Amino acid sequence: MSESLDISSIIKKHKPMLRESSIKNYILSVKKLKTLYKIDGYDDFVRKPKTIVKQLHKLKLSKNTEKNYTSAIINVVDALNREKIHGFCSKRYDNCVKCYRKHIFDLKGMIDVENKERGGAMTDREKKNYITYEDVGKVHKVYDKIVEQGDLLRNGTATTSIEKDTLQKWVLTAMYAYLPPVRNEYSTLNVKNRVLNEEQTKWIWEDGEPVTKDKNYIVFYGKIKMKPLSNFEETHNIAGCIDIQMNQYKTSKTHGSRTLRIYPSNKVRYLEKDDYLDLAEGDVNHLYDVLTGWKKQNPTSKHLFYNKKGKQMTRNDMTKYLYRTFKILFPNKNVSSNILRKSYHTSRERTNPIKKQYKKSKVIAESMGHTIEEALNTYTKDESK
């Protein structure tokens, strides 16, 4: 297969729902393997899948890293098959993909076994970067003080890049401190506004454009401007609410869209479960104040988080941004969303064990994009080990 192939465009064409960052990572991973194995094109990935799998195993990578490399191969090979510009028949591609998928299945099984054998014990890397969930709240309180002392919520005061960055970190730490923590999806939140029509009976999109399923959003609902002329109770109950709507995330194909609604009255509801369980952690009224405070300072902002270039953050940007954000209290640690998710579940299991709060724990796990089994076996750690 010609090295001149535009693999990125081919993958985008046949897998339009894949994130740009994911495509980039897949291509980089396969290029690394090509260099390592001295492969010119992509033929060997199709012709010799079993050999490739053996060579991967010999690299002695972590099981998760090996799984990621294999997933990258599958996505590249599958896209080439769909493009139909190769010299291989579809059956050969099918057999090749089956071989790689079986390897991923085996790796997942081994990872599960290792997690159970560790019994919640942390890896060396986790020990180095781990913080407790209580620490997350402490970091947010530091930014609280900085915002208060700098009077950054007074209209028009947050004008410099440093002040705007401080507000972003204030918002980010509040979301991780007061809501079940997601992966890096907060970086992808697009800001939308809903307002009541003139009759105060129906919510409409302020910009006239509804949300779509290929993006993630934070939606701010306006307030009632006058006494309603009709008794649309549910319509008016959501006045002033804030929705965090996740449509595209790592496990969205399995768990589907999920929306957390933050009420001014101290409740957080997972809408897709139609359950009024309060999922808020700590003082959710403060989270509501943080988000509405940010909104007043950024009334026309299209995104919740921006990088240094003034563009919407990517998930990779968010990883580095979390590192910098938490170094204010933990200068020698790289605190990632993965660490935050583990510290969250570990804290919950310590204070509210799953066996005593099964229903709520199940809803919380699903709101985070994983199962209750994963919450217990993968994310819950033994802080004493």
Whether residue 57 is found in the same domain as residue 147: no
**C-alpha distances in angstroms, 53 versus 59, 72, 113, 211?**
10, 13, 20, 42
Among 118, 151, 169, give the residue marking a domain's end.
118
Which structure tokens are listed for 356? 């005593």
Whether residue 164 is found in the same domain as residue 288: yes
In 3D space, the residue among 129, 131, 244 whose CA is nearest the CA of residue 187 turns out to be 244
Whether residue 186 is found in the same domain as residue 332: yes
Whether residue 192 is found in the same domain as residue 258: yes
pLDDT at residue 190 in the model? 97
Q: CA dihedral defined by 6, 8, 9, 12, rounded to 10 degrees?
A: 160
Task: Please check whether residue 385 lies inside any domain of the structure.
Answer: no
pLDDT at residue 206 in the model? 93
**C-alpha distances in angstroms, 210 versus 82, 120, 158, 199, 215?**
32, 44, 30, 20, 11
pLDDT at residue 146 in the model? 95
Number of structural domains in the chain: 2
Whether residue 174 is found in the same domain as residue 195: yes
Whether residue 63 is found in the same domain as residue 175: no
Burial of residue 59, with CB atoms counted within 10 A of its CB: 0-12 exposed, 13-18 middle, 19 or more buried = exposed
Whether residue 81 is found in the same domain as residue 221: no
CATH classification of the domain holding 182: 1.10.443
pLDDT at residue 2 in the model? 47
pLDDT at residue 229 in the model? 47
Whether residue 111 is found in the same domain as residue 248: no
Q: Which residue has the tokens 């959710």?
A: 284
Among 98, 118, 138, give the residue marking a domain's end.
118
Task: Please check whether residue 270 lies inside any domain of the structure.
Answer: yes
Whether residue 226 is found in the same domain as residue 367: yes
What range does the domain containing 93 cover? Answer: 7-118
Tens-level pLDDT at each residue, the chain (385 residues): 445 678 888 888 887 777 777 888 898 999 888 888 887 778 788 888 888 898 888 888 888 899 999 999 988 888 888 777 655 566 777 888 889 989 988 888 887 767 665 566 778 888 899 999 999 999 999 999 999 998 888 876 667 889 999 999 999 999 999 999 999 999 999 999 999 888 777 899 999 999 999 899 999 999 876 555 454 455 567 889 999 999 998 888 888 899 999 988 778 888 877 665 677 666 666 899 999 999 999 999 999 999 999 999 998 899 999 999 999 999 999 999 999 999 998 888 887 777 777 877 888 888 888 887 787 777 787 776 5
Which structure tokens are listed for 71? 């997933």
Task: Please check whether residue 1 lies inside any domain of the structure.
Answer: no
Tell me, what DSSP letter sits at residue 48?
A: -
Burial of residue 172, with CB atoms counted within 10 A of its CB: 0-12 exposed, 13-18 middle, 19 or more buried = buried
Task: Please check whether residue 168 lies inside any domain of the structure.
Answer: yes
Task: Please check whether residue 22 lies inside any domain of the structure.
Answer: yes
Task: Please check whether residue 110 lies inside any domain of the structure.
Answer: yes
Q: Where are the alpha helices (DSSP H) in 40-199?
A: 43-47, 49-58, 63-83, 90-118, 124-129, 133-149, 161-178
Whether residue 131 is found in the same domain as residue 264: yes
Burial of residue 351, with CB atoms counted within 10 A of its CB: 0-12 exposed, 13-18 middle, 19 or more buried = exposed
Whether residue 288 is found in the same domain as residue 208: yes
Among 99, 118, 137, give the residue marking a domain's end.
118
Task: Please check whether residue 2 lies inside any domain of the structure.
Answer: no
| Cα 381 from Cα 126, distance rounded (Å) | 10
Task: Please check whether residue 206 lies inside any domain of the structure.
Answer: yes
Whether residue 363 is found in the same domain as residue 228: yes
pLDDT at residue 209 in the model? 93
pLDDT at residue 94 in the model? 80
pLDDT at residue 158 in the model? 67
